[in-house]
Structure 1
Amino acid sequence: MTSLNSLHDALSPLLSPVHPSFPFAPIDVVGAMRLSSVINWIATGVFDPQPVGKGKKGTKKDRASIWQELAGLMIVVFGGETFLAMCTGSTPSWLVTPNIAVLFCAIHTLQTRTPLVHLLPTRPSLPLELLLSIPDAIGRTLLLTRFSILPLLRPSSTLPATSISLILVPFILAVPFASIAFSTFNFFSPQLKLTTPVELKSKGWMLVDTWCPLFISPLFLTLIGPVQGWDYGLGWKENEAVVFCMVVLWGCFTGRAIYNFGYRREQWLEMLGVGGQKKKTE
């Protein structure tokens, strides 16, 4: 447990605001840049199937307006929280303090509508995804534990802490509204169109981003429990459980990166810079 506490202490600078005049933690900035990059890939058609008969470049894809993309971005970031606030009669955080909303919108505008867009990776790759699996795991774990479960355990919570709410609330914050923005209404395409959510398509519930909330939340509760609404557990401290969940989720995201971009031998050779040499000798 000492090692977990030490790792949490080492991560503390990433989780704390940089300065009173810049009230954002580094992990917030990295998260905003990461989400903006993914949206940019989708908006520019990186994941679209190549048209039959076209070359590798094909034709340049039209993209949605900045306002439409920002609307989709806000749905991803605040949709779940706003839905829960409406259900409980409370005020969502973005109406109380719009700092995070301003940060995400400003970064997306700078990254995609200024010359800074040329500094963005044009498409995902194995080295990039392996590197970003670390901040992805940190940010997602905080959302699924410290920002969702722990508020339910406070006496001031407007929702009762039950076994259902303790699992359902993190899921609502992480999955449904991101699905609405990315696939159900295609907010990052020029024309909004209603389609079947990816999660409801064949093997959709195998997506890591979909099932990890249903896995990490019970794991975290079992580590810190017994608590209200969760009658069994190991009695770990909050910081220890959060870091352990980060490590587990980092393993999941690393596995996803390898499965998507690097499980073939030639992909690893290319990443290590020996792919070209191998081709010359053949």
Structure 2
Amino acid sequence: MSNLLLATVSNTFRHLLRPIPLLTWFGLDISTLDCVAALRLCVVLRQLRDVAFKDYLESSNEDDRKGVEEKSCMKSIAITLVVVYGGEAVMSVSPSFVFSPVVPALYAALTSLVEISPWLPAMSFKTEFPLSFFDGISRAFLLCQLIPPVVTAHSQPAIASSAWTLLLTSMIAANGGFFLVNLFSMLRPTGWALATPAELRAYGWTTIDIWCAPAITALYALLTHAQPFWAELHAMLATPGKN
């Protein structure tokens, strides 16, 4: 039974990673996972903006509401791109969008599509729980396939072999974008302003997203021996009686 489940998940994952045939005609190497993950992010950001707008209306008076900014599609696109590329900016590496406009154009197009939608379902357990399984798949792909090669293939051996660099890169790349969004209050309806990010507030360090990124990357590195440290650690854990 477990083998059948594993095979089903593996086959589904391979199918999601296949380039979309229609887009390959135009020379675009975009997979189903890329499109669905991008659409999921755009929808979540729209839902978060709607929640922030609703909360502001409920907690403000008529005079305060005059400060609400008019909705802007370009602003929404900018916020989406900050989430996607913010981690790269924090680490001061060459952002991937300078090498190809395909991915930022995909996010921009999907953000525009979501913004003109007259209605989206509100966040609830009934909608978020089923989608959490896809979120796990897309998150795992980011943390296991996209981020580790940035470190392990680095030209400097000290960085390529550093387990600390691998974990730190995973945490920053996966969370840096939302950290900047919260830092500048980009989802507020009254405009951007500096604020303490939720991650730095009381008990903010308990946020699951912060720790799951390096934890998943560490598990992947441990099982695949991505660096010498992880190979030695795996050997030590596999043969504890010989140490």
Into which bin does the TM-score normalised by the smaller protein fall? 0.7 to 0.9
Show CA shifts across 1:191-234 (max 9, x none): 11111010111221222222211321222222222733433227
Q: State the secondary structure of the residue aligned to 2:146.
A: coil
For the residues of structure 1 that align with 2:175 and 2:227, how far apart are their CA atoms? 25
Q: State the secondary structure of the residue aligned to 1:97.
A: coil
Q: Which has the higher helix share?
A: 2
> TM (normalized to structure 2)?
0.79
Amino acid at match of 1:193: A
Specify the alignment match of 2:178 in structure 1. Answer: 178
Distance 1:229 1:94, change over 3 A: farther
CA contact (8 A) 1:43 1:63 kept: no
Aligned runs of 1:26-41 on 2, under 5 Å? 26-41=32-47
CA contact (8 A) 1:64 1:188 kept: no
Q: State the secondary structure of the residue aligned to 1:73.
A: helix
Amino acid at match of 2:51: G
CA contact (8 A) 2:19 2:32 kept: yes
Establish whether residue 147 from structure 1 lines up as the match of residue 146 from structure 2. yes
Distance 1:93 1:126, change over 3 A: same
Q: State the secondary structure of the residue aligned to 1:175.
A: helix
How many angstroms does 1:146 deviate by?
0.7
Specify the alignment match of 1:134 in structure 2. Answer: 133
Amino acid at match of 2:37: G
Between the aligned residues of both structures, percent identity stands at: 25
CA contact (8 A) 1:184 1:197 kept: yes
How many angstroms does 1:133 deviate by?
0.5
Among candidates 48, 53, 64, match of residue 55 of structure 2: 48
Report how many aligned residue pairs link the two structures.
221
Establish whether residue 161 from structure 1 lines up as the match of residue 161 from structure 2. yes
Among candidates 104, 107, 113, match of residue 110 of structure 1: 113
Q: State the secondary structure of the residue aligned to 1:51.
A: helix
Specify the alignment match of 2:31 in structure 1. Answer: 25
CA contact (8 A) 2:163 2:227 kept: no
Amino acid at match of 1:104: Y
For the residues of structure 2 that align with 1:25 and 1:97, how far apart are their CA atoms? 16
Aligned runs of 1:231-270 on 2, under 5 Å? 231-233=232-234
For the residues of structure 1 that align with 2:132 and 2:193, how far apart are their CA atoms? 31
Distance 1:41 1:208, change over 3 A: same
For the residues of structure 2 that align with 1:161 and 1:99, how far apart are their CA atoms? 31
Structural RMSD (CA)? 2.8
> TM (normalized to structure 1)?
0.69
Aligned runs of 1:75-90 on 2, under 5 Å? 75-84=82-91, 86-87=92-93
Amino acid at match of 2:137: I
Specify the alignment match of 1:125 in structure 2. Answer: 124
Specify the alignment match of 1:197 in structure 2. Answer: 197
How many angstroms does 1:53 deviate by?
9.5
CA contact (8 A) 1:68 1:188 kept: no
Among candidates 68, 71, 92, match of residue 75 of structure 2: 68
Distance 1:44 1:155, change over 3 A: closer
Q: Which blocks of at least 5 consecutive residues in structure 2 are unaligned?
A: 236-243
